[in-house]
Amino acid sequence: MPITPATATHSPSNGTADAILLELVDEDGVTIGTAEKLAAHQPPGRLHRAFSVFLFDEYGRLLLQQRALGKYHSPGVWSNTCCGHPYPGEAPFAAAARRTFEELGASPSLLAEAGTVRYNHPDPESGLVEQEYNHLFVGMVQAVLRPDREEVASTVFVTPPELAERHAKDPFSAWFMTVLDAARPAIRELTGTSAGW
């Protein structure tokens, strides 16, 4: 696994770990500052930049990931292919490509912007709040997946009916349907109408 600021262990001279900073934004997505990651998710939440990736195989099936059980936020739930936060000053596209490789061990063979969506989703399990200005990306993955088990418990490719069946019985992230619905026009453009998205 590549070492990045998100995965490296930092040990400054005072013995504390470096904080992971997120980019705070206004309602138009303009950067207004930074905040430590956990602090930004404490109620009521601070609006920050995020990204969500939806990758598909050559059959038009969506790659879902089940978040690792050890994650502090939304552990064990199913969600879109990859999601996360750019570092301050990092382009959302670069962050999406970087994080997809870090989590899944595979780079997208195609990745395109699919708009933005702003939402406020409290997580009833953790008490944390997703107050995000989210950049959406759609694309394809053809490489063999090698998930980082610290991040990803499981993966599966699903058709729309398989997603509906899984969504009815398994827990999903609080933000999943919001980002999926916002990305649907770009998903349909990518997969074609026959895929059913």
H or E stretch including 117? strand 110-122
The single residue of 23, 103, 130, 132 carrying the catalytic annotation is 132
In the block, tokens 């026959």 appear at: 194
Q: Residues 189, 190, 196, 197: what is their CA dihedral angle, to the nearest 10 degrees?
A: -80
Active site (annotated) includes residue 83: yes
* Alpha carbons 135 and 127: distance in angstroms, whole number: 24
Backbone torsions φ then ψ of 64, nearest 5 degrees: -100, 155
Whether 159 contacts 61, CB under 8 Å: yes
Contacts of 79 by beta carbon, 8 Å cutoff, 6+ apart: 64, 65, 66, 67, 172, 173, 175, 176
Whether 54 contacts 187, CB under 8 Å: yes
* Alpha carbons 159 and 8: distance in angstroms, whole number: 36
The single residue of 23, 83, 130, 151 carrying the catalytic annotation is 83
Active site (annotated) includes residue 23: no
Residues with catalytic roles: 83, 132
